[in-house]
C-alpha cells in the first residue's frame, strides 16, 4: 500500500475502511444500545398443535437503532458474539423475558411459559446458573416455566461439558430445548445423555415440507426419534396449513410459525389467534 500512486492506494483502502468503520460504528452503537434502552424483545407464540391454545412464547431480540430502524439478530448478533457483548445482552434478555412473563401471569395467564435463546458464549459462562436463579427469584417465576434454547451446534461443541451445564440448569427445574435440530451432527447416544425436554425441528426442514419428500422423511424420523426419547417436539417455521396438518398428523405437540403468529412486541400479544384459549 506504499506509493503505488494515489490511485492504487485509494482503490483498495477506502472500501476496506468503509466496511471496518461500519462494523466499528455498529459495535459502538450496540455497546450504547443497552444503556439507551434500544434493545427490545419480540414474542412469538408457541401453540399446542394444531392451533391452540397458546402455551407460551419464544423471546426474540430486536434492536431499535436510532438511524437504521428495527434490526433483526442476523444484522448484529454475529458482532455481539465476536465482541462478547452477547453475554450482558443475553443476561438482559433472561431478565426482561421473565419480567414480562410475570406481567402476563398477573394478567390471568399463569400457565404461560417463555423460551430464551442462549448463545454459545453465554451457555459457557460459569455465572449462567446464578444469573438464571436470580432472575427467577426476582420475578417470582416457577422454574419449569422457563425454557432455555440451545442450538444443536452449540450443544455439540463440547458434548461432555454441555451435559454438565444442562444438568446443572435442569436441576433448578428449568427446561432445556435443543434448537435448530437436524442441522448438527449429534449421535443418538449423545442425545440420550442430554437432559433436554424438547427438540425444535429446524425451520429449513419444515419450510420445504410440501415440495421435497426427502424433508418429510427427515421430519417424520425426527418426530419418531424425539418420541422414543420422551422429548417434546416443537416445529418452527410453520407457514402453511399443509405443514400444520402434516406435523400434527405425525404427533408433533407444539407448533410455531408465521401461519399461527409472527413475533410481536408484548403489547400486541392480545391480538394473536386464540389469545383467550383455555389450556
Per DSSP, what are the bridge partners of residue 60?
Answer: 42
Phi/psi of residue 263, nearest 5 degrees: -65, 135
Check residue 258 for interaction with ligand C2E (CB under 6 A): yes
Write out the residues near Ca ion by the rule CB under 5 A.
117, 149, 179-180
What is the b/e burial string over 53-65, where b = at least 16 CB atoms within 10 angstroms of the residue's CB? Answer: bbbbbbbbbbbeb
150 binds, among Ca ion, ligand C2E, none (CB under 5 to 8 A by kind): none
Minimum distance of Ca ion from residue 20's CB (angstroms): 28
- Residue 84: strand, helix, or coil: coil
Residues 16-45 as x/- pattern, contact with ligand C2E by CB under 6 A: ----------------------------x-
- Indicate the residue among 69 and 108 with the shorter CB distance to ligand C2E: 69
Is residue 109 within 8 A of residue 143, CB to CB? The reply is no
- Indicate the residue among 15 and 181 with the shorter CB distance to ligand C2E: 181
- Indicate the residue among 182 and 257 with the shorter CB distance to ligand C2E: 257
Is residue 255 within 8 A of residue 239, CB to CB? The reply is no
Provide the Cα torsion 140, 103, 33, 72; round to 10°. 110
| 183 DSSP assignment | S
Sign for the CA dihedral angle at 201, 149, 96, 173 comes to positive
Which one, of 106, 75, 104, 115, lies nearest residue 198 by Cα?
115
- Which of residues 46, 175, 237, 255 is near ligand C2E by CB under 6 A? 237
- Indicate the residue among 29 and 259 with the shorter CB distance to Ca ion: 259
Based on the number of CB atoms within 10 Å of its own CB, is 97 exposed (0-12), middle (13-18) or buried (19 or more)?
Answer: buried
Check residue 154 for interaction with ligand C2E (CB under 6 A): no
- Which of residues 29, 152, 179, 198 is near ligand C2E by CB under 6 A? 179
What end-to-end distance do the CA atoms of the chain give, in Å?
67
At 232, list the grid cell.
417434546
Minimum distance of ligand C2E from residue 55's CB (angstroms): 15
239 binds, among Ca ion, ligand C2E, none (CB under 5 to 8 A by kind): ligand C2E
What part of residues 60-119 is at the interface with ligand C2E (CB under 6 A)?
Answer: 60-61, 72-74, 77, 86, 90, 93, 117-119
72 binds, among ligand C2E, Ca ion, none (CB under 5 to 8 A by kind): ligand C2E
**CA atoms of 179 and 134, how far apart (whole Å):** 24
Minimum distance of ligand C2E from residue 257's CB (angstroms): 3
Check residue 263 for interaction with ligand C2E (CB under 6 A): yes
How many positions of this chain bind ligand C2E (CB under 6 A)? 23
Residues forming contacts to ligand C2E in the complex (CB under 6 A) are 44, 60-61, 72-74, 77, 86, 90, 93, 117-119, 179-180, 203, 236-239, 257-258, 263
Amino acid at each position: 500500500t506504499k506509493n503505488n500512486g494515489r490511485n492504487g492506494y485509494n482503490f483498495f483502502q477506502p472500501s476496506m475502511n468503509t466496511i471496518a468503520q461500519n462494523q466499528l460504528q455498529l459495535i459502538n452503537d450496540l455497546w450504547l444500545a443497552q444503556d439507551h434502552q434500544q434493545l427490545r424483545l419480540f414474542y412469538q407464540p408457541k401453540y399446542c398443535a394444531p392451533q391452540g391454545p397458546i402455551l407460551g412464547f419464544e423471546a426474540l431480540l430486536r434492536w431499535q437503532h436510532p438511524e437504521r430502524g428495527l434490526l433483526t439478530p442476523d444484522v448484529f448478533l454475529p458482532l455481539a458474539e465476536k465482541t462478547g457483548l452477547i453475554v450482558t445482552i443475553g443476561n438482559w434478555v433472561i431478565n426482561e423475558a421473565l419480567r414480562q412473563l410475570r406481567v402476563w401471569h398477573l394478567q390471568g395467564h399463569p400457565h404461560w411459559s417463555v423460551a430464551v435463546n442462549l448463545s454459545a458464549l453465554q451457555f459457557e459462562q460459569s455465572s449462567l446458573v446464578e444469573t438464571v436463579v436470580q432472575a427467577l427469584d426476582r420475578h417470582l417465576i416457577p422454574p419449569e416455566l422457563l425454557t432455555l434454547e440451545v442450538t444443536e451446534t452449540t450443544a455439540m461443541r463440547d458434548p461432555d461439558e454441555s451435559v454438565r451445564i444442562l444438568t446443572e440448569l435442569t436441576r433448578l427445574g428449568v427446561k432445556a430445548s435443543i434448537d435448530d435440530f437436524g442441522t448438527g451432527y449429534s449421535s443418538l447416544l449423545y442425545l440420550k445423555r442430554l437432559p433436554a425436554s424438547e427438540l425444535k425441528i429446524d425451520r429449513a426442514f419444515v419450510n420445504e415440507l410440501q415440495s421435497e419428500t426427502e424433508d418429510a422423511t427427515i421430519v417424520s424420523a425426527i418426530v419418531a426419534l424425539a418420541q422414543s426419547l420422551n422429548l417434546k417436539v416443537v416445529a418452527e417455521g410453520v407457514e402453511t396449513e399443509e405443514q400444520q396438518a402434516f406435523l400434527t398428523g405425525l404427533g408433533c405437540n407444539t407448533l410455531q410459525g408465521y401461519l399461527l403468529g409472527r413475533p410481536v412486541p408484548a403489547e400486541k400479544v392480545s391480538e394473536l389467534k386464540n389469545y383467550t384459549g383455555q389450556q
